[in-house]
Amino acid sequence: MIRRRAIFAVLVVGALALLGPLLPSYPLTLVTQALIFGILAMSLDLLLGYTGLPSLGQAAYFGSAAYAVALLATERQVGFLGCVVAGIVLATIIAAVFGIVAIRARGTYFLMITLALGMVVWGLAFRWVSLTKGDNGVAGVPRPELGALSLVAPLPFFYFVLAMATLSWVLLGLIVTSPFGLGLKGIRGSESRMEALGYNVWLHKYLAFVIAGAFAGLAGVLWAYYNGFVGPIDVQLVTSVEALLMTALGGPGTLIGSALGAGIIVFLKNFVSVYTKRWLLILGAVYIGVILFAPRGLVGALRRRGS
């Protein structure tokens, strides 16, 4: 099973790498965007699909990392490596603090607490005008220069994001297949049983929460460089809801399903919105259809049909 998945991963990454130079500029940027949101969706999948914790707070870590990159790159002229480390560390610290509060709750209460904590970050981004520039946001984030390699052009940046998405996929795959990941799956099935077996359920859930925040931070770092602009919209509820839809649409507990869901939603959002301003209704209809006819997501439905 692991060998088959590894071969599949190599084929997918190889196909995307070969496809990159053949795509026009606009589709290439959409694929890049889908890869970034794929990382965000996979970070949420660690909570939702493997630990059973539905969160509406991933935008807080995504946006805070993006703000860190934007402010350091534009106002302090900090280099690429410093911005990456600062963004991921900030997102991880925020997740560590929020996790202490959120992990105490379960089910709907956990969902509402993560929503409230995420709104705290949105409020800071919107109201702390002296730092975040409020509604105006932080513009002019330059694409990084890695020595002789410039990531300013769309194609080099695409390959860089593809490498980061592949690395995230591999690392998260190692986590969910490790004894720690198996413990998370057990917690998703029955917390009381895992406690009876001697597992520290709170610590497992807390570590999953922090790790998910760190990977969401990586997605935020890439988003800041991709978009060149960071504003309150990047930390608002809609971003968290979209990440949740991506994970549910593709298939919770699959990782690759989350990335697939991210790709579908990104392309729907950009193509359908060209023809109608009510693209959210179409997206909602697609999501309802998946819930009714494929409750385990698209990947789950394909696996069940193939078995």
Local structure of residue 84 (DSSP, 8 states): H
Residue 26, class by beta-carbon neighbours within 10 Å (0-12 exposed, 13-18 middle, 19+ buried)? exposed
pLDDT score of 123: 93
pLDDT score of 64: 97
Amino acid letter for position 16: L
Phi and psi at residue 209, to the nearest 5° = -60, -45
Q: Is the pTM of this model over 0.85?
A: yes
- Give the pLDDT means over successive 10-residue stretches in the chain (307 positions): 70 89 91 96 95 93 97 92 96 96 88 94 93 92 84 93 95 94 93 91 96 97 96 92 89 89 88 73 76 76 64
pLDDT score of 306: 57
